[in-house]
Amino acid sequence: MSRLREQVTDYLRLRRSLGYKLVEHERFLSQFLDYLEQHRATTITAENALAWARLPADANPRWHGARLSAVRGFAAWARAFDPDIQVPPTGLLPMGSTRATPYLYSDAQVWALINAAADLVPSVRAATLSAYDLTCRIRYDLTCRSRRGDHGMGSPPVTRLRRSFRR
């Protein structure tokens, strides 16, 4: 087990020399090695990593995913030195953030907001209306100056944007 601890030290030193802080990774990897020692495991296996990452059972699934991700990164690096080490595959535990669903305003709601802005302090009203006016002009200008082929699937959005702002 001291071999794995030395490898963790080397791994963290290397990654930190590249600019990563890895504060949580250090803690996770230390806890994972303690887990391996308690279970008398001599190498990293996908099963051990997954069992450890799911602890505690009542924690947030993203927490479990972060723990497994730390072990996966180390295992991928350490596998170069020890072919017996298994790298846990991606996708075993969810780790992604849950984004809020954007709310899309209808035309009627946009006009209701503009009309409500008229009741606000004059400086806020002017800023709101000028920002809306600018947005509408940019969209109208982009629509007028676009070419027929700019809207097809073969032309990526960045290309369309670059063409739009050429003068």
Q: pLDDT tens digits for 88-134?
A: 998 888 766 677 888 888 888 888 877 777 677 665 655 665 666 65
Distance, CA of 49 to CA of 69 (rounded, Å): 10
**pLDDT less than 70: residues of the chain:** 1, 95-97, 118, 121-167
Distance, CA of 24 to CA of 33 (rounded, Å): 14
In degrees rounded to 5, what are phi and psi of residue 20?
-85, 145
Question: Which among 13, 11, 78 is positioned nearest to 49, based on CA atoms?
Answer: 78
Give the list of residues 6+ apart from residue 54 with CB closer than 8 angstroms, or none: 64, 93
Q: What is the DSSP letter of 66?
A: H
Q: Which helix (H) or strand (E) segment is 116 a member of?
A: helix 107-117
Distance, CA of 102 to CA of 105 (rounded, Å): 10
Which residue has tokens 């927490």?
63
The pLDDT score that the predictor gives to residue 25 is 95
The pLDDT score that the predictor gives to residue 75 is 97
Angle between helix 23-38 and 2-17 (nearest 10): 170
Distance, CA of 159 to CA of 150 (rounded, Å): 8
The pLDDT score that the predictor gives to residue 76 is 96
Largest pairwise CA distance in the chain: 72
Q: Are 44 and 86 in contact (CB under 8 A)?
A: yes
CA angle 65, 71, 77 (to 5 degrees): 135
The pLDDT score that the predictor gives to residue 29 is 97
